[in-house]
Structure 1
Amino acid sequence: MAFKPNYGQERAARNRAKEQKKQEKLQRRQEESERRKAEREAGASEPDPTKPS
């Protein structure tokens, strides 16, 4: 015999999964931003050998 569907529980599970995915995306974007910022700062401190002064 099948169980009666629990729509509230299913909705809560979907919302939790969606929120977790959103948080992971936000964290990934922040890490990428920090990485680019660190590369930019490292590049600014060292003169570019391809550019004439």
Structure 2
Amino acid sequence: MAAPNYGYEKRQKELAKKKKKEEKLREKANRKLSPSSDGLTPGDPETNVASLENDPPTVPTLPTKDS
């Protein structure tokens, strides 16, 4: 009976792991390039950085003796 080739099995596992990692990175890059409809879109006020830059910062008011 032939002895198991553990080196070959290990190499196959490493290749599968590398392929899976590359696929995940590719999918992540695709999500960055084309935002999905269920997430925030670039036109939303929450994601509009320009509107945040133009709005004055809100400063909490401290209670005074008059009020």
Compare CA radii of gyration and give the structure with the larger one.
Answer: 2
Structure 1: gaps spanning 5 or more residues: 1-9
Work out whether 1:24 is the aligned partner of 2:12.
yes
Structure 2: gaps spanning 5 or more residues: 45-67
Q: Distance between the aligned counterparts of 1:31 and 1:51, measured in 2?
A: 27
Q: Alpha-carbon deviations, 1:1-53, whole Å to 9, x = none?
A: xxxxxxxxx7xx44xx0010000000000000001100000111001211233
Provide the residue aligned with 2:37 in structure 1: 49
RMSD across aligned C-alpha pairs, in angstroms? Answer: 1.6
Q: Distance between the aligned counterparts of 1:51 and 1:20, measured in 2?
A: 43
> Structure 1 stretches (4+) deviating beyond 2 angstroms?
none
TM-score (norm 1): 0.65
Q: Which has the higher contact order (CA 8 A, sep 6+)?
A: 2
TM-score (norm 2): 0.53
Provide the residue aligned with 1:34 in structure 2: 22
